[in-house]
Amino acid sequence: MHIETLRIQNFRRLRDVQIDLASDISIFVGANNSGKTSASHALQLFMAASRERFSVHDFSAECWATMDAFGYGVDGAILPTISLDVWFHVDAPDLHRVVDLLPSLAWEGTLVGLRVEFGVTDVTTLLANFREARERARANIRPGANGGADYHPSPRTLRDYLAAQAYEYCVLSFPFDSELDVVIETIRMMPHFVERPFVNGRRHYVVANETTIGENFAERWNTEPGRVTAFYAWHGKALADFEGLRDLEGVDLIASSLGKSLGNSIVGTVMDSRTQTVSQARVGSKLYVAPAVGLTLTTQANATQVRPNTFFGD
């Protein structure tokens, strides 16, 4: 008995993919960002006892409009699911292993399949909670001078609501060790939000504007291939540089490393602002040092005030 076919739907860039496997060994081969990692990760999430969990961001971008339509109450709109179909090739001696999956005792053949899905368990409660949260947000809209909304708190759409719920769940259930780990994971996930459909036999890149239907932030990638190469080159270097920050000590070394990834102008501006803020806080007797924290602008237990400068040398 062996797995003959896998079908993955609505998972990241895998809108609807069928993978046929050999009876002994199968190897995923493809270009960078073609979906090899997504396919492997889907299998891990569905089939392994993994600490990781699905989030709303694991849904293919093509599902987002459907989610929002359901939240708005559009007729016929249903919430999508992420699914994995597994088809086993089963010979007669192994039938006892899959007897619970057979449709009936009269079944004859060699293929037995099952589907595993990730989706909403209580649609009614989800929709009610979303609409309640949306009404609270609408009640706090701040009108602008031109009559539009100068401030519009989330959630605006069902996807906003799901993202907030997923974020809260992950933070409460699986806390990161540091803010740096959050940044690193954010950078690592960036390519997963770039859709790569084939249009008329050509690869296209799509980063949809969530607020303007039809607008593609990656439109110039489709006419200027150098931009694609530049992005993935930057992404690989930025990820390596930020992961390397764990081993650096001292503000100067950290600033130098960040400057190589983000540009010295940006990092210099931030560091100058930080230095000015620290200096002003020290002059105003509002700078403290706390154990396991370092310099801070907030008073807390065991924090010691940093005295203002009384001498300025060369």
Looking at this protein, which amino acid is placed at residue 35?
G
Q: Is the domain of 144 the same as that of 82? A: no
**CATH code of the domain covering residue 66:** 3.40.50
Phi, then psi, of 80 in degrees rounded to 5: -75, 165
Q: Is the domain of 60 the same as that of 167? A: no
Q: Is the domain of 130 the same as that of 114? A: no
Asked whether residue 238 is assigned to any structural domain, the reply reads no
Residue 64 has a pLDDT of 78
Asked whether residue 306 is assigned to any structural domain, the reply reads no
Strands of 175-247 (E only): list them: 198-199, 202-203
* Region 194-209 average pLDDT: 78
Asked whether residue 230 is assigned to any structural domain, the reply reads no
Percentage of residues in the chain with pLDDT exceeding 90?
1
Asked whether residue 262 is assigned to any structural domain, the reply reads no
253-305 pLDDT, tens digit each: 888 888 877 788 888 888 888 888 888 888 888 888 887 667 787 776 677 88
Asked whether residue 206 is assigned to any structural domain, the reply reads no
Q: Is the domain of 114 the same as that of 131? A: no
Asked whether residue 83 is assigned to any structural domain, the reply reads yes
Q: Is the domain of 11 the same as that of 102? A: yes
Asked whether residue 275 is assigned to any structural domain, the reply reads no
Q: Is the domain of 135 the same as that of 46? A: no
Place of tokens 């709303």: 56
Between 112 and 192, the more confident residue is: 112
Residue 307 has a pLDDT of 79
Residue 314 has a pLDDT of 46
Asked whether residue 48 is assigned to any structural domain, the reply reads yes
Q: Provide the token pair at 28.
A: 């995923």
- What is the C-alpha to C-alpha distance for residues 28 and 128, in angstroms, rounded to an integer? 43
Residue 169 has a pLDDT of 60
Q: Is the domain of 115 the same as that of 137? A: no
**Domain, as residue range, for 139:** 123-174
Count of structural domains, the chain: 2
218-258 pLDDT, tens digit each: 888 888 988 888 888 877 888 888 888 877 877 888 888 88
